[in-house]
Amino acid sequence: MENRELTCIGCPMGCQLLVKLEGDKVIEVTGNTCKRGEIYGQKECTNPTRIVTSSVYVKNGEIDVVPVKTEKDIPKGKIFDCIKALKDVIVEAPINIGDVVVKDILGTGVDIIATKKIDRVDGNESKTA
């Protein structure tokens, strides 16, 4: 039997979890003060995932980049590939919060969405930050 100690990130409490595993199977999660801790402990030890945040370039926008994030968690092992895939993405302004910037990133079934509104500017206007 293997024991893993984790700090839960499911809520602001930051509980110290102890996850007992037998092979790939979670036997018990202790130390959590809410149900989210149990779910986090199981998931982190069997299929760790994360929300990815980054930014992409904006063409004809009031600012040159827009912050983006994955709509849902993606497998932890795909984080760096996701960031790499976003490196050359350029979107056209205007952009609204929640707009899909990249559909189905890396075949995960998860979309990349904008997290800031960016208005369009004409080419002869000065940009402001």
What residues contact residue 118 under an 8 Å CB cut-off, 6+ apart?
58, 61, 62, 63, 66, 93, 94, 95
What residues contact residue 91 under an 8 Å CB cut-off, 6+ apart?
56, 57, 58, 59, 66, 101, 114
As a whole number of angstroms, the distance between CA 100 and CA 66 comes to 12
Report cis status (omega within 30 of 0) of the bond before 12: no
pLDDT tens for the 129 residues of the chain, in order: 899 999 999 899 999 999 999 998 999 999 999 999 999 999 999 999 999 999 999 999 999 999 999 999 999 999 999 999 999 999 999 999 999 999 999 999 999 999 999 999 986 555 554
Q: For position 1, what pLDDT does the model report?
A: 87
CATH class (in words) of the domain with range 53-114: alpha beta
Give me the residue spans of the domains in the chain: 2-47, 53-114
